[in-house]
Amino acid sequence: MEEREGEVRWDGLCSRDAASRAAALDNIGQTVLRRSETIAPLAAVPLNRAADGLLVPAARDGLSEVLARLLMLSKRCPFPDVREKSEAILSRVQELGIRIPRPLGHGPSRFIPEKETIQVGNEDAMMHALFADSFTTLGRLDNVTLVMVFHPQYLESFLKTQHYLLQMDGPLPLHYRHYIGIMAAARHQCSYLVNLHVNDFLHVGGDPKWLNGLENAPQKLQNLGELNKMLAHRPWLITKEHIEQLLKTEENSWSLAELIHAVVLLTHYHSLASFTFGCGISPEIDCEGGHTFRPPSVSNYCICDITNGYHGVDEIHTSPTGSIPSTESVCEVEALMEKMKQLQECRDEEEASQEEMATRFEREKRESMFVCSSEDEESAPTRDVSRHFEDTSYGYKDFSRHGMHVPTFRVQDYSWEDHGYSLVNRLYPDVGQLLDEKFHIAYNLTYNTMAMHKDVDTSMLRRAIWNYIHCMFGIRYDDYDYGEINQLLDRSFKVYIKTVVCTPEKTTKRMYDSFWRQFEHSEKVHVNLLLVEARMQAELLYALRAITRYMT
């Protein structure tokens, strides 16, 4: 929310100093109660009150947004003093006869039961430090963070990178950065991320008119639309000519450093949209769809819950990992471990020839085109989000459809380690290092467990997931045997991977539940981290290769 004179000021709550937070909370409390008292006299009129005893809505004077923010703070702030005081302010408003909001849904994810996620206030010291960092930096502890914290080492790297991209010194002004985040998230109809960055865009002084549609933004940002759509849906089509167009459009031209910053932001938010849909991230409590001012109905949820995708506690809380292990799903884990063992033995005995490896890659690439989501209906983007990008009909298409042949991208010719990293670091210092660390953590992360089994080497499985994603993007590793992918990834898992990576907006809870049914939710979140980073690296490789070709 943009803060003007007379409005509620939230900045002080982000301080690590308890006295500063206390002063900010006192100011917020006084401002909110003053506003509430101007509305409260309406409640004094004797009326037949509803069962909840509160009839007066808080919509006047922007009070409802303020109360929603306080609700979020009372549930999601890592500082106990802020949680308690926010709750006390809400109680006082309620005593004045004004209806206060309540959360919709059950926790940060629609796919993971709330009781299996980390509860704010019950986190350990390391997680608390991460939560405090996130809150003091962003002014909120968002649902993405609350799901990513299953893997604190990765989360720390992710938050550091995102903070650098959005808030530290860099080629692009702050409002451009958030607007590019909106453009990127909108390509996948990710209203969750769009809403967050609309608020941030306004907070750093962005022009509200730009939010009416991309055509209202500066021409320079409009010119980025073509690169945005290709990176999101068909990055293999990006050529040095696309780069040249952006760098040579006279007064609206991009510098190389600005373009690198923009490309990293676009790929960051395309892949974060994949994580958001892949983990079923719920709307933030203070955003649309995250709270309601309606009283609870008799059955404990009402029509507004249903329209937001919540169908009652029972459905949300039934989960494959929460149920009694079926013989079939236990066998599934055992069978996967047996395959890994056999593949390792075969690998030790003989190695396939280069020709055979190339053939297996082409076969896997072809087969990946026939993997499509079972819920493959066309979904038109809502006007609300689609106004932030052009060409709404443009979406993912397999690269070899309709007789098109896209040359294989050989990692040996252009890799992140040998080429992309140094280009990014040269033009946007430190970002190459941050991205490299994040890629490595996601790729190498392991607790040596698989479902109920301990002391398991999962490197073969992690590599199969990473290389399958790159294979879908036409990227080949000469030293990898793509025959392993079919052995290790079953069809339901491939459907999930392809949907989350290529058309994340079509991901469903059924898809999430149907793969690796006996694995922990933390392991499924780990899969999503691999998908996010492999996708981001694939997009970056195509964009950076085109920039390198332009420069040489």
d(CA 228, CA 514): 32
Write out the two tokens for 482. 């793509």
Cα 120 to Cα 147: distance, rounded to the nearest angstrom: 12
CA torsion sign for 93, 95, 97, 100 is positive
- H or E stretch covering 102: strand 102-103
Helices 256-278 & 491-502 angle (0-180, nearest 10)? 140
Q: How far is it, in rounded angstroms, from Cα 90 to Cα 103?
A: 13
Which residue is associated with the tokens 């949300």?
316
Q: What share of the chain is helix, strand, coil (3-state, %, to 5)?
A: 60, 5, 35
Closest CA to 540 of 287, 267, 294: 267
Choose among 144, 132, 408: nearest CA to 273: 144
Contacts of 59 (CB under 8 A, 6+ apart): none
Asked whether the beta carbons of 17 and 40 are under 8 A apart, the reply is no
φ/ψ of 55, rounded to 5, equals -110, -20
| 237: nearest Cα among 79, 37, 406, 422 | 406
| Known catalytic residue at 372 | no
Instruction: Quickly tell me which residue has 């401002």 as its tokens.
Output: 31
SS3 343: helix
What residues contact residue 39 under an 8 Å CB cut-off, 6+ apart? Answer: 56, 58, 60, 61, 63, 96, 98
Q: Copy the structure tokens of residue 262.
A: 């923009």
Q: What are the distances in angstroms from CA 542 to CA 59, 268, 474, 479? A: 48, 14, 10, 20
Long-range contacts of residues 405-409, Cβ cutoff 8 Å, at least 24 apart:
406/236, 406/237, 406/474, 407/474, 408/361, 408/365, 408/474, 408/475, 408/476, 409/236, 409/473, 409/474, 409/475, 409/476, 409/541, 409/542, 409/545
What sign results for the dihedral spanned by CA atoms 445, 362, 536, 505? negative
Phi, psi of 258 (to 5 degrees): -60, -40
Spatial CB neighbours of 231, under 8 Å, sequence gap ≥ 6 = 238, 263, 266, 267, 270, 539, 542, 543
Write the Ramachandran bin of 132: left for phi over 0, alpha for psi from -120 to 50, otherwise beta.
alpha
Residue 476: Cβ within 10 Å count: 22
Q: Which amino acid is at 281?
A: I
Q: Contact, 144 vs 22, CB < 8 A?
A: no
Indicate which residue of 14, 77, 190, 279 is catalytic.
Answer: 190
Supply the residues annotated as catalytic.
190
